[in-house]
Amino acid sequence: METPAQHSKKPNRVSESGLRINISKLSEGIHDFNLQADPSQLELGDTFTSPVSVNVKLDKSSTQIYLKAEIALDGNFTCDRCLIDFKSEFRTSFNIVFMYEARGLKGEQSNDIQILSPDTNHIDIAEDVRQYILLAIPIKILCSENCRGLCPSCGTDLNQNQCKCDSETHDPRWETLSKIIKNEKNN
């Protein structure tokens, strides 16, 4: 997967999202923008249900633009422990430095810095927003940190009820090892 900063020279699949900032007439200094896009415009799938809200703070100087973006949206998730569907607010943020071509930086880019030509009029952050959202989705999605999940024997939701199953599960693959351990303890 390419890093968000590496996409700037490629055609942008999500360029019509409304996450484009006109920088041509901005004076030097700090500028605030409140941008919105539909999750479908960013190709985020059906998980996210509310508009993507992006609060952007730009600090423009004659040689660079420092961008800080804070993203918020709502999503419908399924808990990986108890399988219950729940709605949750989702937040993430990122920073990018855009530098104008100068002093040996021409055409070079890194994950932290993107190079702009002096005649650039717009910054499109749609692909950056999309990738940072996708990267911020946790590997294990939980309805709460205290979720107890499902009983592995009977499937009871342990957040709602206590089941009557034996709390020790017996996996026949470990019986031989259990016998060896018992023999060691007895000797």
Model pLDDT, residue 152: 84
With beta carbons less than 8 A apart as the criterion, state whether 38 and 19 touch: no
pLDDT at 7: 44
- Residue 58 domain flag: yes
What residues pair up with 91 in beta bridges, in sequence order? 72
pLDDT band at 51 (very low <50, low <70, confident <90, very high): very high
Task: For residues 116 and 74, state if they share a domain.
Answer: yes
pLDDT of residue 110: 59
For residue 41, the one-letter residue type is Q
Residues 97 and 160 occupy one common structural domain:
no
pLDDT for position 49 = 86
pTM > 0.85: yes or no: no
Residues 144, 138: Cα–Cα separation, whole Å: 13
Instruction: Please give the Cα distance from 136 to 14 (Å, whole number).
Output: 19
Higher-confidence residue of 57 and 90: namely: 57
Q: What's the confidence (pLDDT) of residue 169? A: 61
Residues 152 and 132 in one domain: no
| Distance in angstroms (rounded) separating the CA atoms of residues 81 and 157 | 9
* Position 66, amino acid: Y
What is residue 134's predicted lDDT score, i.e. its pLDDT?
A: 92
Residues 14 and 73 in one domain: yes
Q: Are 74 and 145 in contact (CB under 8 A)?
A: no
Tens-digit pLDDT profile for residues 113-169 = 888 888 889 999 999 999 999 999 999 999 999 999 998 888 889 999 988 887 666
Q: Are residues 160 and 103 in the same domain?
A: no
Instruction: Answer yes or no: is pLDDT of 10 > 50.
Output: no
Collapsed DSSP state (helix, strand, coil) of residue 171: coil
CB atoms within 10 A of CB 106: 9
Q: Are 137 and 73 in contact (CB under 8 A)?
A: no
The lowest-confidence range among 12-26, 47-61, 131-145 is: 12-26
**How far is the C-alpha of 88 from the C-alpha of 119, rounded, in Å?**
41
What whole-number distance in Å separates Cα of residue 136 and Cα of residue 117? 30
Q: Are residues 163 and 82 in the same domain?
A: no
Name the residue range of residue 83's domain: 4-136
Domain count, the chain: 2
